[in-house]
């Protein structure tokens, strides 16, 4: 399913909350609970909708991808198909805006679901397993995001990288699994299990190419009943639009 871009929705602003920017140092202390996934080769972002009849195969594929040890997967539910009979219970206008921003950065005038974006630079129909697997196989992320949990604080430490101008540090929270019974629309009568459902995405800092970045966030304010995992991601911004993803790490309770 595809839809023309709405130019009014492509004006995206980012409110940066810069906590600490400094050189990279070692962190002492034990890691408490949870599961980490660090140093992946790819971040796979799926733009999907409960109201899209062609999306369930892509939703299922993303659930498989997220089990791979070297890949981080995130599902962004959009809201622009709500009018055709079923309001996506996980949908967000912010997710639709992010997808439009990707399209604008690539010079495209339409958006569609299901769409998988790999490392912010390549996109495919979300059920195109062959091409997506091939893209993931040749993917790399040049920056290592050192993510730790200690004393109630989630800490992200990133080494300085000379060619990382425009790098913004994003915090993405997600729910590992959500089951939805769809009552109307194109998927009426289906019970669909969604994986890695994004619940929020916000900029929390900038990457200094000379000093790197060190960000501390209280875990009690990150995770709740709606979210049980966090991704810290570095992504370049080019003329205010999303560019290549440079690095990411995941922590999940």
**Residue 34: pLDDT over 60:** yes
Note the helical H segments in the chain. Answer: 56-65, 93-105, 129-137
- Give the model's pLDDT for residue 3: 78
**Domain presence at residue 54:** yes
| Nearest-angstrom CA–CA distance, 120 and 172 | 15
pLDDT tens-digit readout, 127-172: 999 999 999 999 999 999 999 998 899 999 998 887 777 899 999 9
| Domains of the chain: total | 1
Query: Which residues does residue 200 pair with via DSSP β-bridges, in sequence order?
Result: 173
**Domain presence at residue 1:** no
**Domain presence at residue 4:** no
**Domain presence at residue 172:** yes
* Total-model pTM: 0.88
Residue pair 103/38 in contact (Cβ under 8 Å)? The answer is no
Mean residue pLDDT of the chain comes to 88
- Give the model's pLDDT for residue 33: 64
Across 11-20, 54-63, 180-189, 213-222, least confident range: 11-20
Its domain, for residue 160, covers 9-252
| Nearest-angstrom CA–CA distance, 223 and 106 | 33
Torsion angles phi and psi, residue 71, rounded to 5: -135, 135
**Domain presence at residue 191:** yes
Residue of 13 and 245 predicted with greater confidence: 245
**Domain presence at residue 2:** no
Rg over alpha carbons for the chain, rounded to the nearest Å, is 18
**Domain presence at residue 25:** yes
**Domain presence at residue 168:** yes
């Amino acid at each position: 399913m595809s839809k023309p871009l709405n130019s009014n929705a492509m004006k995206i602003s980012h409110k940066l909350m810069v906590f600490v920017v400094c050189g990279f140092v070692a962190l002492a202390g034990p890691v408490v609970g949870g599961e980490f996934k660090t140093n992946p080769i790819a971040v796979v972002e799926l733009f999907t909708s409960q109201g899209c009849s062609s999306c369930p195969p892509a939703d299922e594929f993303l659930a498989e991808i997220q089990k791979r040890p070297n890949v981080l997967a995130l599902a962004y539910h959009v809201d622009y198909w709500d009018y055709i009979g079923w309001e996506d219970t996980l949908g967000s206008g912010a997710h639709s805006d992010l997808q439009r921003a990707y399209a604008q950065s690539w010079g495209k005038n339409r958006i569609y679901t299901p769409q998988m974006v790999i490392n912010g630079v390549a996109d495919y129909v979300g059920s195109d397993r062959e091409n997506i697997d091939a893209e993931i196989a040749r993917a790399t992320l040049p920056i290592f995001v050192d993510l730790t949990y200690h004393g109630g604080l989630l800490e992200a430490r990133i080494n300085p990288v000379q060619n990382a101008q425009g790098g913004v540090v994003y915090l993405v929270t997600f729910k590992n699994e959500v089951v939805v019974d769809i009552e109307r629309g194109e998927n009426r009568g289906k019970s669909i299990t969604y994986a890695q459902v994004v619940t929020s995405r916000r900029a929390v800092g900038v990457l200094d190419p000379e000093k790197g970045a060190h960000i501390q966030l209280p875990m009690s304010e990150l995770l709740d009943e709606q979210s049980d995992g966090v991704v810290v991601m570095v992504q370049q911004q080019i003329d205010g639009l999303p560019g290549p993803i440079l690095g990411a790490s995941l922590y999940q309770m």
